[in-house]
């Protein structure tokens, strides 16, 4: 059982399994452009790099391509229209959130996903009103791995950073948490890129499956 006064999460690949809707939007777009859809296994880990990573994998173009931004915006429009069709909490996460709420421990989100998309998916999943804070790149000058967003979240919930836990599935999450002075947990169940070893990110704890998080946090 860990001692903490607030629990903060990354969003995509940590709290929510958003990959199915990201991939669905990409495949709809690929078909629109006369291309073959991709199997989920081929692009799931790219979700951690957002729309840019998915466009690079799906279309084989880089951000300096003349049509990159046009294709990326078309993708984002497709995603926004269906961003909660298949998205859900990872297994065990509802139990973690419910226990936090039962124990009056504020929980929140610090993500690099823009507010437009974060707020929409959280609202559709009835989570926006439960979170004590939701910090997106729109709210800070410097997103993760800079600790600015982490510190803003802690300030909003009036909890010292040293008393916060942060859970994330990317090295930038752990780096940001460490820089902010928080206790960090690497989420091994997330969208870990090929060749990455989440247990080597210098997080305070590593949890391989989402349904194991409750035990680490609350079991004596």
Q: Count the Cβ atoms, other than its own, within 10 Å of residue 70.
A: 10
Query: Which residue bears the tokens 């989440």?
Result: 198
Among residues 189, 203, 162, the alpha carbon closest in space to that of 6 is found at: 162
The catalytic residue among 10, 21, 169, 173 is 10
Is the Cα torsion angle 215, 154, 84, 40 positive or negative in sign?
negative
Instruction: Determine which one of 12, 17, 21, 173 is catalytic.
Output: 12
The length of the chain is 220
Please state, in angstroms and rounded to a whole number, the distance separating the CA atoms of residues 45 and 190.
Answer: 8
Asked if 21 is an active-site residue, the reply is: no
Long-range contacts of 211-214 (CB under 8 A, 24+ apart): 211/90, 211/91, 211/92, 212/92, 213/92, 213/93, 213/96, 213/167, 213/185, 214/92, 214/95, 214/96, 214/99
Mark whether 163 is an active-site residue.
Answer: no
Which residues form the catalytic set? 10, 12
């Amino acid at each position: 059982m860990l001692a903490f006064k607030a629990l903060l999460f990354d969003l995509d690949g940590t709290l929510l399994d958003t990959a199915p809707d990201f991939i669905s939007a990409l495949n709809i777009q690929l078909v629109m452009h006369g291309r073959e859809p991709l199997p989920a296994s081929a692009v799931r880990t790219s979700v951690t790099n957002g729309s840019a990573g998915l466009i690079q994998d799906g279309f084989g173009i880089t951000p300096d391509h003349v049509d990159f931004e046009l294709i990326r915006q078309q993708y984002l429009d497709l995603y926004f229209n269906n961003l909660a069709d298949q998205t859900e909490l990872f297994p065990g996460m509802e139990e973690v959130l419910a226990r936090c709420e039962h124990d009056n421990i504020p929980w929140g989100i610090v993500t690099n996903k823009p507010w437009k998309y974060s707020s929409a998916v959280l609202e559709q999943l009835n989570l926006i009103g439960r979170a004590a804070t939701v910090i997106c790149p729109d709210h800070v000058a410097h997103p993760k791995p800079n600790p600015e967003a982490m510190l803003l979240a802690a300030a909003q919930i009036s909890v010292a950073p040293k008393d916060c836990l942060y859970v994330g599935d990317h090295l930038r999450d752990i780096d940001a948490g460490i820089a902010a002075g928080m206790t960090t947990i690497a989420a091994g169940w997330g969208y870990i890129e090929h060749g990455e070893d989440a247990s080597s990110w210098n997080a305070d704890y590593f949890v391989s499956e989402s349904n194991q998080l409750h035990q680490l946090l609350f079991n004596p």
